[in-house]
């Protein structure tokens, strides 16, 4: 790749979710959990993957004020100024725009790789190749996204329709499509020209800021004020005061669906946005009876179960099928795999009674 010293990573790690309760909590969301194939948190794994292509010094993490310290602990390689803490989450357009001002101040020609911190990616060379190809394509001024070859008619993801090939392995993105119903999802997969929208983007920092000025001018003006304040050394107070009033718009809706010249690089690596405990079961290595169990577990006539428990805890399953069992030490969840999404009802009940274990 040319100009790899111009590449910066912006890792989005501000998310909070309930779908991995009780392991995830409002103060320890999914990106801090080791839901992948090894003991690293998803955030740490995201950073280490991108560090195959660019150094830690050129990495920014956008997170919330509440989560800043956890990010520092997970990524001690980063300097404090590389962690941007939002006072409140305002969706991805403000988050990416704000990070772009920081990147552009360091290098007017910088290219940004924008990467969610809470996705699962099986480590392969294919991922690094895709990353390099995306950064390369972005040097030409394109808005670039990674699309994942769909393995099934998933209704939980957005899709990208792919057009003509404009460079080897780089295609014109014809349109973005919201999460489809089952029938449309099946059509997309049959059609062959639709990819899952991975939420990974590449562009020149200057280019995304121009696009924000054009399509989200209110946000653009605020970001210019942030830049002026940052150069004067007093950005923090301004951000704290005004960030909550920024428009809560996604980068997909606010920018990608409006600009022309969006490219897509098809990714062939294994990927998941880890939408529920069911996806953790799908991705983990299962025993011959489709159980995912901690080391030393005893399973008698048990199949299709997913169990997560504290290290060293002895798990014994007898005669149970297709359960999700998550022991988080202070809380224990048991739910059939096919109802894993309903964990949100538990979190809602906890919120209602003011229980902090949510």
Please choose, out of 41-49, 101-109, 119-127, 335-343, the segment that lies near a second copy by the rule CB under 8 A: 335-343
Please choose, out of 108-116, 262-270, 284-292, 319-327, the segment that lies near a second copy by the rule CB under 8 A: 319-327
Residue 41 in contact with residue 31, Cβ under 8 Å?
Answer: yes
Handedness of CA 137, 142, 265, 91 (dihedral sign): positive
Q: How far apart are CA 324 and CA 283, in angstroms?
A: 14
Q: Is 316 in the site for a second copy (CB under 8 A)?
A: yes
Q: Could you say which of 18, 339, 351, 354 contacts a second copy (CB under 8 A)?
A: 339
Toward a second copy, which CB reaches closer, 81 or 330? Answer: 330
Site string for a second copy, 20-59 (x = CB under 8 A): --x-------------------------------------
Shortest distance in whole angstroms from residue 30 CB to a second copy = 18
Shortest distance in whole angstroms from residue 249 CB to a second copy = 34
Please choose, out of 144-152, 228-236, 258-266, 292-300, the segment that lies near a second copy by the rule CB under 8 A: 292-300
Q: Is 118 in the site for a second copy (CB under 8 A)?
A: no
Q: Is 350 in the site for a second copy (CB under 8 A)?
A: yes
Q: Is 298 in the site for a second copy (CB under 8 A)?
A: yes
- Burial group, residue 267, by CB count within 10 angstroms (0-12, 13-18, 19+): buried
Tell me the C-alpha to C-alpha distance, in Å, between residue 286 and each of 271, 291, 293, 294, 352.
18, 5, 8, 11, 36
**What are the tokens at 155?**
């209704």
Residue 63 in contact with residue 13, Cβ under 8 Å?
Answer: yes
Q: Is 309 in the site for a second copy (CB under 8 A)?
A: yes
Q: Is 332 in the site for a second copy (CB under 8 A)?
A: yes
Q: Is 343 in the site for a second copy (CB under 8 A)?
A: yes
Task: Catalogue the E-assigned strands of 24-181.
Answer: 59-64, 83-86, 111-116, 120-121, 143-148, 159-167, 170-177
Shortest distance in whole angstroms from residue 300 CB to a second copy = 5
- Neighbouring-strand partners of residue 86: 64
Number of residues that bind a second copy (CB under 8 A): 33
- Burial group, residue 152, by CB count within 10 angstroms (0-12, 13-18, 19+): exposed
The residues that touch a second copy, with contacts defined as CB under 8 A, are 22, 296, 298, 300, 309, 312-320, 323, 325, 327, 330-336, 339, 342-343, 345-346, 349-350, 355, 357
């Amino acid at each position: 790749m040319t100009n790899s010293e111009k590449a910066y990573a912006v890792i989005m790690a501000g998310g909070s979710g309930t779908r991995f309760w009780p392991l995830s909590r409002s103060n320890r969301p999914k990106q801090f959990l080791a839901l992948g194939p090894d003991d690293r948190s998803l955030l740490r794994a995201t950073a280490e993957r991108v560090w195959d292509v660019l150094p830690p010094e050129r990495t920014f993490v956008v997170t919330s004020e509440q989560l800043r310290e956890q990010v520092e602990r997970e990524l001690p390689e980063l300097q404090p100024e590389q962690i941007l803490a939002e006072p409140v989450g305002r969706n991805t357009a403000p988050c990416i725009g704000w990070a772009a001002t920081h990147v552009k101040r360091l290098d007017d020609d910088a290219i940004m790789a924008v990467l969610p911190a809470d996705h699962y990616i099986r480590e392969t060379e294919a991922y690094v190749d895709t990353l390099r190809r995306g950064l390369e394509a972005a040097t030409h001024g394109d808005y670039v996204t990674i699309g994942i070859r769909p393995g099934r008619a998933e209704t939980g993801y957005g899709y990208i329709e792919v057009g003509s090939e404009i460079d080897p392995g780089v295609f014109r993105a014809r349109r973005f499509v919201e999460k489809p119903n089952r029938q449309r999802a099946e059509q997309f997969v049959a059609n062959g020209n639709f990819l899952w929208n991975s939420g990974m983007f590449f562009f020149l920092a200057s280019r995304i800021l121009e696009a924000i000025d054009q399509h989200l001018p209110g946000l653009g003006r605020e970001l210019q004020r942030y830049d002026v304040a940052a150069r004067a050394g007093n950005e923090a107070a301004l951000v704290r005061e005004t960030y909550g009033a920024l428009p809560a718009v996604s980068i997909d809706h606010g920018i990608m669906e409006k600009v022309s010249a969006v490219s897509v690089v098809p990714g062939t690596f294994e990927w998941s946005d880890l939408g529920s405990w069911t996806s953790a079961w799908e991705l983990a290595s299962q025993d011959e009876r489709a159980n995912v169990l901690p080391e030393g577990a005893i399973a008698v006539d048990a199949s299709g179960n997913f169990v997560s428990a504290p290290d060293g805890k002895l798990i014994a399953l007898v005669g149970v099928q297709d359960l999700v069992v998550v022991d988080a030490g202070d809380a224990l969840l048991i739910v059939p795999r096919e109802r894993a999404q309903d964990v949100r009802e538990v979190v809602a009940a906890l919120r209602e009674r003011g229980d902090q274990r949510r």
